[in-house]
Amino acid sequence: MIFGRFKSFWTSFWMRFAGLSRAGRVAMWLATWFVPPFSGRCILARMNKRGYVSWSATVYHNNLILGDNIFIGDRVIIYKDSEGGPVELGKRVHLYGDTCIQTGQGGSLTIGENTHIQPNCQFSAYKGSIHIGKEVQIAPHCAFYPYDHSFSAGELIARQPLTTKGGIVVGDGAWLGFGVIVLDGVRIGKGAVVGAGAVVSRDIPDGAVAAGAPAEVIKMRSAPSNIENGKTNGKK
């Protein structure tokens, strides 16, 4: 009982000083001493408006905008090269371990509030933008590429320019299964579900269920108007 109270006091005390400064990162590390790893540390993000950033996460980005109570897990990388655009994480966004975010050549990333990104996802925001809506669920090992690479004959591919068709948009409430790859110029609609291993190379309508490589709509989970209103008629 006494030790339990001490652990609670220890954690809450150090989370008062949480932040992205070196001192703030040390304070968050100290706060983890009696807290379980991985998702068990999500509770820390609720203890301070500045949220929780793992000591092992790498943040190398001078245009990072963080909403209240964000969670950035172990070994997450948020990186900006010399021409990269902003990264904005909304309130209560969760980025779990080993997820990598890069912005370069004018690319940018926005993730809406209450969206959860599971481990080992890749966001390479070069040339185009990536916009992830609110309440989106993204399973492990998903990848997002809002650009294409030229491959004309007569020149090394590494020397050819990147192009974009306008970036990527994932609508509010969408759910992407394990290993989904989302390519440039795609919009995934509100409340849509994309099955594991799909390659999304064209738009998915609101409320659709899609699967395959390339991904194709296989059924509708409910009317788009109900999805937009936050209702699904009890269907999943």
Residues catalogued as catalytic = 149
Residues in contact with 91: Cβ distance below 8 Å, sequence separation at least 6, in sequence order? 67, 68, 69, 70, 113, 114
Query: Which residues is 130 bridged to in the sheet?
Result: 109, 168
Helix then strand count (H, E) for the chain reads 4, 24
**d(Cα 196, Cα 137) in Å, to the nearest integer?**
13
**d(Cα 103, Cα 77) in Å, to the nearest integer?**
11
Dihedral sign (CA 17, 20, 26, 32): positive
